[in-house]
Amino acid sequence: MDRRRFVAICTAMMFAVMISTPSTASPDIGAGVMQLSPGSDDGQPTAVHNTMYVFGNAALSSCWSAFNSTNEDSAEYGEDSRGGNAAMDVKVTCRMDPALDDDVRLAEGEMIQLRFTVFLGGTWENGQGSCNGDCENLNVSLLKGSREVAVKEFDSLSDEENMISWDLPVTEDLVPWNGSQENFAIEFRMVIKSSDGGFLFADDEAIFRLYFTHPNNPPERNATVTFPILNESAVEELEGGGKDKGGDTPGFTAMLGIGGLAAAALLRPKSDSDEE
């Protein structure tokens, strides 16, 4: 066998081994990018456009979210306040609008990243001021349709501006989202008390302000939730659709074909040019 034929056969065999070796790469998921980006055209989530942006009005009476950041109806922030000696019960629910219209799967073990900024005033910690078991720290909930699937209490917040960061692991229950029934939603709950300062002191007003996604806000104030959404090929692999139904080793047929070519090269009679 001459040198050229030997090199050709070795190259063919090496290529066959390379294409038959299964990939060990992890499923492709959308990166948890937190900076403001346009997102999807229709506001629906994808593996690439996986950040949900939160919007609302200035009175904090309306809040919604979508997987794109362009929303001309949103204020920079929404705020509610109460003076005198009174309790302010805060409950703000921000549901995805337009609603989720297709099934979504998240990557189990990855993190859902929630980022918010709130401005607070008054008293909300029980045992302080006039709070005697009737106040409530800030609680942030993730809703799956109308069902609360995760909640976190933030018990170390201070007056004025607070940046909130919550990395929520995706458990088995959080992997599938039914597009017709389980819309994405975030909810904020808190009970804050104001106090009358009297003649010598200023009033301690109860204030709850939630910053929305808005181009006038610095990036760290924009309210976002980033989900580790699986792409279609990863979903098929998870559901078993990517397996070879014939039971053969991946690339086995291609390897046989290339092996056959190599064998043909070995058995091919030498031509006059080969002998020279």
Question: pLDDT tens digits, residue range 214-260?
Answer: 999 999 999 999 999 999 888 887 777 544 444 443 443 444 444 45
Band of the pLDDT at 33, cuts 50, 70, 90? very low
pLDDT at 145 over 60: yes
Between 270 and 190, the higher pLDDT residue? 190
Q: Can you give the pLDDT at residue 66? A: 97
User: Domain-by-domain residue ranges, the chain?
Assistant: 3-22+250-275, 51-238
Q: Can you give the pLDDT at residue 36? A: 63
Query: Could you say which architecture CATH assigns to the domain 51-238?
Result: Sandwich (2.60)
Exposure of 76 in the CB half-sphere (CA atoms within 13 A)? 8
Tokens linked to 69: 């950041």
pLDDT at 73 over 90: yes
What percent of the chain has pLDDT above 90? 61
